Amino acid sequence: MAEPCNTVVPPIRSVDEGEFRSKFITLLHRLVGTHGEPKVAFALGVTQRQMQNLYKGSLPGLHRAWNLLSLDPTAMDEIAALYGMQMRPASTSAGDDLDTIMRLADYVSQYLGVMADGRRDHRETLALAGPGRVLASRLLALVAEAEEIRKPSA
């Protein structure tokens, strides 16, 4: 008998520890570049010395890693993507909507500036990725909210 094939939802893959550590170090550098090392260390609840150990491949406790979300809602995106998943806020508010609109307008302006010469180079791609990640997360939350509204009531 043939194995069932689900083409709609890809399977979550298993990740080895080395790959996980590498992605965690990547997200750590991204967050430090965006927010500064003291804020990241505070969110993790670690000292500056412990931060140096994290750069070398140590992993914080699970609750400490998740606490990074209090600093940045995109903090765990690299880890989620490693498993073929995406993270998004569970809900949004009107204040979030107005902030998202402002960020989206800024992003479009920045993107247009990048494309003024007709191309986007690797540095510009990296510069667009940070704010794009935040916007993607917020827009996914809006789409999820719309899906909840469309669900038939029981």
Out of 22-26, 49-53, 69-73, 88-92, least confident range: 88-92
Q: How many residues does the chain have?
A: 154
Rounded CA gap, 20 and 127, in Å? 24
* Structure-model confidence comparison of residues 144 and 62, the more confident one: 62
Contact at 8 Å (CB) between 28 and 99? no
> Is the pLDDT confidence value at 32 over 90?
yes
Please give the pLDDT value at position 5.
56
Instruction: Identify the CA nearest to 27 among candidates 45, 14, 40.
Output: 40
Report the pLDDT value the prediction gives residue 4, as an integer from 0 to 100.
55
Q: Return the pLDDT at 21.
A: 94
| Angle, CA 98 vertex, CA 94 and CA 104 arms, to 5° | 135
Q: Measure the CA–CA gap between 109 and 151, rounded to whole angstroms.
A: 36
pLDDT band at 94 (very low <50, low <70, confident <90, very high): low
Average pLDDT, the chain: 86
Q: What is the pTM of this model?
A: 0.63
**Main-chain dihedrals φ then ψ at residue 38, nearest 5 degrees:** -60, -40
Q: How many angstroms separate the CA atoms of 77 and 88, rounded?
A: 9
Give the Cβ contact number of residue 98 at 10 Å: 10
More confident residue, 12 or 100: 100
